[in-house]
Amino acid sequence: MRPDLFSIGPITIHGYGLMIGIGFLAAILIGMKRAEKHGLDKDIVFNMGLLCIVGGMLGAKILFIITEWNNIIHSRNLWSDLAYGFVVYGGIIGGILILYVYSRFKKLNFLQYMDLIVPSVSIGQGFGRIGCLLAGCCYGRETDCPIGIVFHNSEFAPNGVSLLPTQIFSSLGDFAIAGFLIWYAGKQKKDGKVISMYLILYGVGRFIVEIFRNDPRGNVGMLSTSQFISIFMVAFGVGMMYFVTHRKKKEQ
């Protein structure tokens, strides 16, 4: 697609980086707006957004290095691989961990704020996948379907071959999940149900999309690394949903 969008003097604006930046900005602004609506501290949400960016980037990079270690050490273009290489699940785990630590330190209701923030996370992921499309990473299998897309100057995807647009599948799925979660949050108390639903929906969707992807991304047996993690994410989400629902019934 368009790895490099345009240049301003010596500065080149990359499609991937720009969309990641737009995703972060949209996530924080929407999170702060929703904080006002739900009576929570928007400054805390802003701080959490910045921390989530740091923890998410570190987690995504660390998991990428772990899953792609063999490819990285033999890479002929190490800088490019490290610059573009991220694993979304690492970002989710890293973001949740750093927010949990921050919540404990500030004595905040972790589940309450996570229920507020998680739709914004999904929105940020949706923009990030558009960045993947522009860069050509996270590409799909070869196809004869009319929906196939062809890359011509990607450093990652095979060029000149029609591929399934798995980046678009993921982006649309992330935006759809975000919309559903915002609606769902309006029906629930902020007690962990929204983040539970996110874990379930994202885990199932990611497992399915992985079937159609064809980029190197590590394996655990017959499953891709992300499919393997998806199983535990869905199981954790179901267990968490049961726990918060059961606890709520006990309190009534």
Quick one: what percent of the chain has pLDDT higher than 90? 61
**pLDDT above 90: residue 126:** yes
Q: In which domain, by residue range, is 19 found?
A: 2-186
Average pLDDT over every residue of 241-249: 80
> Helices 110-135 and 166-185 meet at what angle, rounded to 10?
160
* 231 domain residue, yes or no: no
* 200 domain residue, yes or no: no
* 146 domain residue, yes or no: yes
* 172 domain residue, yes or no: yes
- Nearby residues of 107 by Cβ (< 8 Å), 6 or more positions away: none
d(CA 32, CA 162): 41
pLDDT of residue 75: 58
- Which pair of structure tokens corresponds to residue 25? 């900005």
* 215 domain residue, yes or no: no
How many domains, the chain? 1
Average pLDDT over every residue of 58-82: 68
The reply to whether the predicted model has a pTM over 0.85 is yes
d(CA 248, CA 74): 52
* 19 domain residue, yes or no: yes
Q: Report the candidate in 89, 98, 162, 173 with the shortest Cα–Cα distance to residue 129.
A: 173
The pLDDT tens digits of the residues spanning 189-199 come to: 668 899 999 99
Mean pLDDT (the chain, rounded): 87
pLDDT of residue 218: 76
129 is in an annotated binding site: yes
The answer to whether the beta carbons of residues 120 and 49 sit under 8 Å apart is yes
